[in-house]
Amino acid sequence: MTITPRLDERQRPAAGKNGPEMSWQVPLSDLLVDDEIETVVRNVVRSGWWSMGAGVAAFEDEFADFCGAKTALAVTNGTAALHLALLAVGVGPEDEVIVPSLNFVAAANVIGHTGATPVFCDIRGGEDLNMDPEDVEAAVTPRTRAIIVLHYGGHPCDMEAILEVAARHDLAVVEDAAHAPGARWRDQMCGTIGNVGCFSFFSNKNLPTGEGGMLVTDDGDLADRIRRLRSHGMTTLTWDRHRGHASSYDVVAQGFNYRLDEMRAAIGRVELGRLRERNAARARIVNRYRAELHGVRGVQMAFASADGNSSAHHLAVLLLPEGHDRDAFRGFLTSRGIQTSVHYPPIHTFSYYRTLGARRKLPATDAVADRIVTLPLYPHMTDRDIAAVTECVLRAITR
Ligand SMILES: *Cc1c(COP(=O)(O)O)cnc(C)c1O
């Protein structure tokens, strides 16, 4: 199989859905590449300043504004955002952090990197795949320091109940809003409800920059700690010194290099301007999936009765009838050029986390683990793409 794209594909890599290695009729997610994106990146490249500078600062200001947060801090990726958030709220060795097992593994990994221990909690069930606040409370021990809240698929968690648990036990709340830029809980944006919110700009997320991430917070002390840890614990940046704003620096913490660069910030600013409209397009596609698939032949769509307007609709997740062969189902869709995925194999089932995972029972997570399938979802899906997916799902179910 060739991995070198033809020249025309290299110029417009994704819009034609022709990734270099596999050509799906309907991919799981897809980027739209256009002249504006190419122009802003070219302008940065030509500017001669590529590392964190004025473009990153502008992206941060615009993102903070969008969220209604005091401060936004751009980082290398969403995992780095989670890592810094935990360190900033004071998580360290001997602590425990509660996190849903039905989640991407990054959150559990970074809890470990701080020296703390992840404690897995359950979800509410097949309709609501978000964490169950009652099980969060059941998971609290004297060592618990923080909760990482995942707004699964972009659907806001029951933050009222989670904030109550946090307040009762004096826990920090870190929101993993990787799926949820633009999602709202009541009148607040996801990411701005807890102590600090974390976003990812990975290529398949709602606001893609390739790699990239952002933290948002209203807490000035947290922001200061995050800003310092992001750049080696140093008190000034290369950018400050370049501008003549500083000529030396002190090191006040054992930090990291988690900075974002100017090329990605330029893409991020364009994508941020398109986010509302793109999320609305995602909502319309999910509504089509619900209308055509939910309740048909034993198939369910997750979050089918949730308020679709408050979600960022990062994922369209279907639940197969109990006992249905998921591999065969996905295999049939693959054979028709329709890409699917599983978000996620629960973290407690992975080899590395199995021992830790066995400490708590997660019946609702276990009950959906073999039934969930993620369907293609990206804002520029056509009616034909959607129909291809729904027809294929229904055929696969009756086979
Ligand atoms: C994508 C994602 C991350 C990690 O973000 P990266 O930018 O890929 O590091 C973390 N948590 C969740 C829920 C995600 O979806």
Fold classified for 35-270: Aspartate Aminotransferase; domain 2 (3.40.640)
> Tell me: the pLDDT tens digits for 24-83?
999 999 999 999 999 999 999 999 999 999 999 999 999 999 999 999 999 999 999 999
> Tell me: the pLDDT tens digits for 299-317?
999 999 888 789 999 999 9
> Tell me: the pLDDT tens digits for 101-122?
999 999 999 999 999 999 999 9
Please check whether residue 144 is in contact with residue 91, taking contact to mean a CB–CB distance below 8 angstroms. Answer: no
> Which residue is catalytic, options 17, 70, 205, 361?
205
| pLDDT confidence of residue 6 | 37
Instruction: Tell me the pTM.
Output: 0.94
Gyration radius (Cα) of the chain, Å? 21
In this structure, what are the phi and psi dihedrals at residue 178, rounded to the nearest 5 degrees? -55, -30
> Tell me: the pLDDT tens digits for 181-224?
999 999 999 999 999 999 999 999 999 999 999 999 999 999 99
Cα(110) to ligand 1 centroid in Å equals 11
Quick one: pLDDT band at residue 1, thresholds 50, 70, 90?
very low
**In the block, residue with structure tokens 């360290």:** 92
Quick one: pLDDT band at residue 4, thresholds 50, 70, 90?
very low
Whether pLDDT at 2 is above 80? no
177 lines ligand 1 (CB under 6 A): no
Quick one: pLDDT band at residue 238, thresholds 50, 70, 90?
confident
Is 205 assigned a catalytic role?
A: yes
Mean pLDDT over residues 224-251, rounded?
92
Cα(395) to ligand 1 centroid in Å equals 33
DSSP 8-state class, residue 296 = S
Domain extent listing, the chain? 35-270, 275-398
Mean pLDDT over residues 153-163, rounded?
97
| Class of CATH domain 275-398 | alpha beta
Ligand 1: which of 29, 101, 104 to mutate, most ligand atoms within 8 Å of CB? 104
User: Is residue 115 left, alpha or beta, with left meaning phi > 0 and alpha meaning psi from -120 to 50?
Assistant: left
149 lines ligand 1 (CB under 6 A): no
* Helical pair 326-335 and 383-398, crossing angle rounded to 10 deg: 140
* Helical pair 262-293 and 54-67, crossing angle rounded to 10 deg: 30
Whether pLDDT at 287 is above 80? yes
Helices and strands: H and E segment counts in the chain: 14, 12
Cα(248) to ligand 1 centroid in Å equals 35
Note the maximum CA span of the chain: 70
Give the number of the atom of ligand 1 that is nearest the alpha carbon of residue 200. Answer: 7
